[in-house]
Amino acid sequence: MLLDLAWKNIWRRKLRSLLTILGVASAVQLYLMVHGVMGTYTGEINGQVNAFAGRIVIQQQVESGGGKSDLTSSTSSLMEETAEALLATGGIDRAASSALLFVPIARALMPYIPPAVVAVGLEPGHEAAYLGGLKAASGRLTLEEPDEVILGQGAAEYYRSENNGDPVGIRSTIPVGGRTLKVVGILGDAPQLFANAVIMPLPTAQAIFDRPGTVTSVILTVQNTGAVETVKSSIQAGFSGLTVSTQDDMLRSASSILDAMNSFMSIIETSILTVAVIVVMIVVIVSVMEARREIGTLRAVGAARWRIFTMVAGQSIVLSMMGTLVALPIALFFVQWGMSDYLSSVTGVLQVWWQILVTAVGVGLAASILPAWQAVRVDPLESLRYE
Amino acid sequence: MNMIVETKNVTKTFGMNGIAVEAVRGIDLQVREGEFVAIVGPSGSGKSSLLHLIGAMDHPTSGEVFFRERPLSRMNDGARTDLRAREIGFIFQTFNLLPMLNVFENVEVVMRFGGLAKRERIQRTESLLKTVGLAERMRHLPNRLSGGERQRVAVARALANQPALVLADEPTGNLDSTTGTGILELLREICNSRKQTVIMVTHDFRAASYADRVLVLRDGRIRGEAGLKGVTDTHKTLNQLLELELE
Amino acid sequence: MLKFALLGLLAQDPKHGYDLKNELEQALGGHWEINFGQIYTTLARLERDELVRVAAEDRDGRGKKTYRITAAGRKDLAAWFEEPVEKPRQLRDEFFIKWIVGKLAGQSDPMRIIDRQRQAYLTQLRDLTALTGRAGDPNVELMVEGAILHLQADLRWLDLCEERLERGELEKPRAAIRKE
C-alpha cells in the first residue's frame, strides 16, 4: 500500500489541499442541512399520522387546495348539528370522540407543516379525542373550567414572551384573543401538531374566535380498531360532502407528499455531492498530472498498478474525509444556534456515524476513479521524462 | 556460467513526428551472472533504449529478451512489474528520487514492492544507507542533498530488494568527475563483493573502464567489444606511465 | 628531461648523487625507481657543460661527490622554466602507421585494428582510473588525470576512424591544401 505517499502528496500542496477540504466541507455541510430538513419533516408527518391510530378525522373542506393531510385545517367548516350527528355514529367510543375547532394563532414556517401555534377547542370531558395517548409534563390534561387551557411545549415557549420572558407553566395565565386563560397542564414530548397546540374548551374557542355554532372537524375513536373501515363506510353512506380520513388514508396522502419531496430533495442532495466529487476530482487529476514522472519512477522500480491505485484513491478519500470532518462541527453549530426547528434531525443523522463515513469514502472513491485510471496507465518510461 | 540476460536480434523502432526511428537494430547480447558490462556509445546510439528493453520497461519491436531464460514477451504486466521489483534494480541518470519522501523512505518504499516485512525493511534500509555512506542523512529530503548524495540514495534503492541485476543509465551523467568516480566505485563494489550483475550505459569511456567488458554501440548496433578483466598492479602502471613521461 | 630535474634539485643546495636519486623518487610519489647509472651519466654531462661542478669529494675517494649548481646552470634552468613546451604531447604514431601500412599492404582488416587498439586503450584507461586517488602524491595524481584525458581523446578518435571507415569516406580523395 502506498497510503503514506497519498498523505504526503496532500501535505506537499498545503494551500491547494486546504481549499479542497473547505470546498468539500461546505458541500457536505449543505448536504447535511438538506438531509436534516428532510428528516425533520418526515419525522413530523409520521409522528402525526401515528398519533391518529384507530381514529377517524372528519372535515368538510370549504375551499379546495387544502391538503388532505392537513388535520388542523381551519378552512374546514362543519355545523355543530352535523357534528352531533356524527358523534352519534354507532361503534365509536363517545368519551374519546369530540368535535374540534382549529384556529391558527401563528403562521406555519413551511406549507404542510402544522401552524406554529394553533388554538384547539374541544369538548370538555372528551379530551382523549385529541390528547389520547399523550402524557402531561405537568398539571392535568382535562379542562374543567371555561377559562382553562392546556399548552403543548412549543406553544408554552411561544407564550414565554407574553409572560415577561419567564417560562410558562401551570398556574401561569396567557392572553388569547382578549381573554385571559389559566394554564392547567403542559404536554409532554409530542409531535409538533400537539406540541404547538393551545387547547381550550370548545365554547371558549368559539367565543374567542367568533365561530359560534361551527367546528372545523370531528375526531371519532372507534371502539374496535378493526372496525375503522366499517365505521368510515357508514359515515360516508349517511353524510355527503365530508372528507373522512382514517390513519390509512393519512398515511397514503402523507407518503405521496413525502415521496414527491424525497425525490426532489434527493436531486438536490445528489447535486451537492456531485459538486464535492468534482472538486476533489479536479485536484487529484491535477496532482496526478504533476506527478506523472514520479508515478513512472514508482512503476519502473516495481510498484504494481494496484499500489498506484491505492495512492491516488487514498489521496482523494483522505481529502473527502477531512472535508467531512470539517463540515460536522459547522452543521452542529447551525443546529445548536437558531435553526433547531428545521434541523432537529441533523443530530440524529450525525449519530449514524457509519453513514457519514460511507458517504465520505464514497465521495472520495467516486472522485478518484478517473485520476486513478490515468495514474495506473502511466508507463514506466515516463520516469525518464525531463521536467 | 549462466546467462542472466540474453537478447536475440532485438529491434526497437520509435515513431517520431510520423518518421520511424530505428533506435535498436538487431542486437544479440549475452550477459553472464556476476558480470559488470558497460555499453558505451554516443547519444542517440540506442544504448538507453536497449537498457529499457533489458529492464522490462519497454517492449521490443521484434526479437526477444530473456531474463534467466524466461522470455519477457510472454510475461504480463504484473509479472514484468514483479521482475522489476525483485530481480532488477534501476539507477537513473536524473536520480529520480521521490521528492516528498526522505532518504530513508525512498529506499524503504521499494522494499514493499519486494514483499519485505516492516522490520526487515527498516533493518536493511539502515544497513544499505550505511554502505553508501548516508547513514547520517537518513531523515533529509532529497532536495537538501548534493547530486552525488542523491545518486547514492538511488544506488541504495536499486539494491533494496537484492536484485540479481542492476541497470544503470548514465549514472554519472549529471555528476562531476570526482563524485562520479565514487558512484562507479560503488558499482564496481556491488559487482565484486555482492556478486550482482551490473549493466551500465554511458557515453564516457572513463566510466566504462570500470567494467569487466565494454560494448561499443553505434546506430543501434554493437560495433565492438573489449574485455577488461584481469589484475591491475597499481605500482607497475604508474611506473610505466612515468617512464613514458620522463624519458 | 632528467637534466633539468637534477638542476632543479641542486638549485636549493649541493647534494650527493644518492640524495638526488632519493629526492627525485620521493617527488614522484615513490612509484618510479630511477637507474643510478642514468643519474651519473647525466651528472657527468652537466659537469662537462659546466652547469654543475663538484663541490666536495669524500675522503675515502670512492667517488662520493657532492655537486653544486653553477651560474650557467642557474641561467639554463631559468630559461627552461620561462619557455613553454613547444612539442605537442605524443601522438600515437605507431598506431597511425599501422593503420596506413595495413591499408597499403591490403593485409589487415582495419576494423580489427581498431577493435584491438580500443581494447588496449580501454585496458590502459582501466589501469589508470584504478590509480586515481591512490598515487599517493597530488602532483603525480595530476599527471594520471592528464593521461586519462588523453586516453579518452584517443578512444574518441578511434570512434571517428571507425565512423569514417564505415561510411566509406576514407576511400574518396578530398580537396587538400597542396604545396605550390
pLDDT band, very low/low/confident/very high, at A65 (cuts 50, 70, 90):
very low
Q: Is A151 left (phi over 0), alpha (psi -120 to 50) or beta?
A: beta
Q: Which of A222, A245, A268 is the last residue of a domain?
A: A245
pLDDT at A66: 45
On whether both A196 and A343 belong to a single domain, the answer is: no
Share of chain C above pLDDT 90, in %: 0
CA distance A202 to A130: 12
- Per-residue confidence (pLDDT) for residue C91, from 0 to 100: 55
Over residues A197-209, the pLDDT tens digits come to 999 999 999 999 9
Nearest CA in chain B to A379: B57
Residue A133 lies in a domain: yes
In chain A, residues with a C-beta closer than 8 Å to the C-beta of B109 are 2, 5, 298
Scanning the structure block, which residue is given the C-alpha cell 397546540?
A: A197
Give the torsion through C-alpha atoms of A115, A117, A122, A124, to 10 deg.
Answer: 160
| Backbone angles phi and psi of A76, in degrees to 5 | -80, 150
Task: Work out how many CB contacts closer than 8 A connect A with B.
Answer: 75
Taking CA–CA distances from C147, the nearest residue in chain B reads B241
| A226 and A303 share one domain | no
Note whether A26 and A135 are same-domain residues: no
Q: What residues have CB less than 8 Å from A384, skipping those under 6 apart?
A: A296, B48, B92, B94, B169
Mean pLDDT, chain A, integer: 85
Most confident of A121-135, A335-349, B132-146, C151-165: B132-146
Number of H helices, E strands in chain C: 7, 3
Q: How far apart are CA A245 and CA B216, in angstroms?
A: 97
Window from A39-48, A84-93, C60-69 with minimum mean pLDDT: C60-69
Residue B237 is nearest to which of C28, C128, C162, comparing CB atoms?
A: C128
Same domain, A208 and A279: no
The one-character DSSP state at A74 is: T
Q: Are residues A93 and A214 in the same domain?
A: yes
Tell whether the model's pLDDT for residue C125 goes beyond 80.
yes
- Measured between CA atoms, the residue of chain B closest to residue A308 is B113
Tell me if the domain spanning B1-87+165-171+195-247 has CATH number 3.20.20.80: no
A338: which 3 cell numbers?
Answer: 437558531
Mean pLDDT of A20-39: 87
- Alpha-carbon distance of A322 to A331, in angstroms, equals 15
Residue B49 C-alpha, separation from nearest chain A C-alpha, in angstroms: 10
Would you call B237 an interface residue with chain C, using a CB distance cutoff of 8 Å?
yes
Same domain, A134 and A198: yes
Q: Among C2, C32, C148, which would you mutate to test the B interface (most chain B Cβ atoms within 10 Å of its Cβ)?
A: C32
- Alpha-carbon distance of B246 to A103, in angstroms, equals 123
Q: What is the pLDDT of residue A22?
A: 94
pLDDT tier at A243 (50, 70, 90 boundaries)? confident
**Residue A303: closest CA among chain B residues belongs to which residue?**
B113
How much is the CA Rg of chain C, to the nearest whole Å? 23
Contact B40, B48 (CB under 8 A): no
> Which pLDDT belongs to residue A350?
62
User: What residues have CB less than 8 Å from A373, skipping those under 6 apart?
Assistant: none
For residue A316, the enclosing domain spans: 3-44+256-384
* Residues B177-199: tens digit of each pLDDT: 888 888 999 999 889 888 899 99
**What tens digit of pLDDT does each residue of A155-192 get?**
888 888 777 878 888 888 898 888 899 999 999 888 87
β-bridge partners, A139: A185
Check B226 against C31: CB less than 8 A apart.
no
Residue B85: which of A1, A293, A302 has the nearest Cβ?
A: A302
Bridge partners for C57 per DSSP:
C65
- Considering A223, A245, A267, which residue would you say is the last residue of a domain? A245
Q: Quick one: cell of C112?
A: 580489427
Nearest chain B CA: its distance from C178 CA (Å): 34
Q: Which three cell numbers stand for residue A362?
A: 464514497
Domain locations in chain B as residue ranges: 1-87+165-171+195-247
Residues A220 and A364 in one domain: no
In a domain, A49, yes or no: no
Most confident of A89-98, B119-128, C119-128: B119-128
Helical residues (DSSP H) of A52-191, grouped into ranges: 80-87, 128-131, 153-158
pLDDT at A376 over 50: yes
Interface probe for C, chosen from B36, B37, B45, B206 (most Cβ of C below 10 Å), is B206
List Cα–Cα distances, A35 to A322, C68, C140, in angstroms: 20, 108, 84
When computed from its CA atoms, the radius of gyration of chain A, rounded to whole angstroms, is 29
Binary contact (A304, B58; C-beta < 8 A): no
C147 touches chain B (CB under 8 A): yes
Between CA C180 and CA C174 the distance in angstroms is 17
Q: Please check the confidence at residue B222 and state whether its pLDDT lies above 60.
A: yes
Confidence at C61, pLDDT banded by 50, 70, 90? low
**Residue scoring higher pLDDT (A4 or A377):** A377
- pLDDT, greater one: A382 or B242: A382
Other Cβ atoms within 10 Å of A218 Cβ, number:
27
Backbone angles phi, psi at A194, to 5 degrees: -90, -35
Specify if A315 maps to a domain: yes
Let me know whether A77 and A184 are in one domain. yes
Query: pLDDT, tens digit, for every residue of C74-90?
Result: 888 888 877 776 655 55
Query: Are the C-beta atoms of A103 and A205 separated by less than 8 Å?
Result: yes
For every residue of chain B, DSSP letters joined together read --EEEEEEEEEEEEEETTEEEEEEEEEEEEEETT-EEEEE--TTSSHHHHHHHHTTSS--SEEEEEETTEEGGG--HHHHHHHHHHTEEEE-TT----TTS-HHHHHHHHHHHTT--HHHHHHHHHHHHHHTT-GGGTT--GGGS-HHHHHHHHHHHHTTT--SEEEEESTTTTS-HHHHHHHHHHHHHHHHHH--EEEEEES-HHHHTTSSEEEEEETTEEEEEEE--S---HHHHHHHHHHHHH-
Judge whether A132 lies within some domain.
Answer: yes
Question: How far from C1 is each of A222, B237, C20, C40, CA to CA, in Å?
Answer: 134, 21, 14, 14
Q: Report pLDDT for B127.
A: 94
Residues of A whose CB is below 8 A from B158: 301
Question: pLDDT tens digits for C31-57?
Answer: 677 788 888 888 889 889 888 888 877
Asked if A186 and A150 count as a contact pair (C-beta separation under 8 A), the reply is yes
* Whole-number pLDDT of residue B31: 96
- Residue where the block lists cell 649541493: C14
Q: Chain B partners of C151 at a C-beta cutoff of 8 Å? A: 205
> B with C: how many residue pairs have Cβ under 8 Å apart?
84
Task: Choose among B55, B92, B100: nearest Cβ to A12.
Answer: B100
pLDDT over threshold 90, residue B71: yes
pLDDT one-digit tens code per residue, B123-176: 999 999 999 999 999 999 999 999 999 999 999 999 999 999 999 999 998 888
Chain-chain contact of B96 with A305 (C-beta, under 8 angstroms): no
Chain C partners of B216 at a C-beta cutoff of 8 Å?
118, 159
Does B62 score more than 50 pLDDT?
A: yes
Better pLDDT: B139 or B227: B139
Other CB atoms within a 10 A radius of the CB of residue B91 amount to 23
Res. A67 pLDDT band, cuts 50 70 90: very low
pLDDT grade for B69, boundaries at 50, 70 and 90: very high
Using one digit for the tens of pLDDT, what is the confidence trace for B199-219?
999 998 889 989 999 998 988
CA distances from A62 to A89, A206, A243, C7 (A): 23, 18, 11, 135
| Residue A69 domain-assigned (yes or no) | yes
3-state secondary structure of A102: strand
CA distance A349 to A345: 6
Nearest-10 crossing angle of helices A305-336, A247-290: 130
Helix (H) / strand (E) containing A353:
helix A353-376
Query: Does residue A64 form part of some domain?
Result: yes
Could you tell me if A299 and A233 lie in one domain? no
As given in the structure block, the three cell numbers for residue B236 are: 607497475
Domain co-membership, A22 together with A76:
no
Average pLDDT over residues B11-20: 87
Structural domain includes residue A138: yes
* Residue B178 one-letter amino acid: T
Q: Is B205 on the interface with C (CB under 8 A)?
A: yes
Subunit partners of chain B (3 or more CB pairs within 8 A): A, C
The 10s digit of each residue's pLDDT in A12-24 is: 889 999 999 999 9
User: Which of B242, B174, B165 is closest to B207 using CA atoms?
Assistant: B174
Helix (H) or strand (E) holding C165: helix C138-167
Residue A153 and residue A187 in contact, taking contact as beta carbons nearer than 8 Å: yes
Same domain, A143 and A234: yes
- Is A229 in the same domain as A330? no
Contacts of residues A202-207 at CB distance under 8 Å and 24 or more positions apart, as own/partner, are A202/A98, A202/A99, A202/A100, A202/A101, A202/A121, A202/A122, A202/A123, A202/A124, A203/A121, A203/A146, A204/A121, A204/A146, A204/A147, A204/A179, A205/A101, A205/A103, A205/A119, A205/A120, A205/A121, A206/A101, A206/A121, A207/A179
What radius of gyration, in Å, describes the C-alpha atoms of chain B? 19
How many domains is chain A partitioned into structurally? 2
- C-alpha separations of B5 from B24, B70, C49 in Å: 17, 9, 67
Contact B69, B229 (CB under 8 A): no
% of residues, chain B, pLDDT over 90: 70
Q: Where are the domains of chain C?
A: 2-82, 93-167
Residue A370 pLDDT: 95
Strand partners, B5: B31, B67
- The pairing of beta strand B70-71 with beta strand A214-215: unpaired
For range A88-113, the mean pLDDT:
80
For residue A50, is it within any domain? no
Report, as an integer, the average pLDDT of A48-54: 79
C2-82 — its CATH code? 1.10.10.10
Report CA torsion sign: A135, A185, A205, A82.
positive
AA letter at A339: M
C-alpha cell at C131: 590509480
In single-letter form, the type of residue at position A198 comes to: V
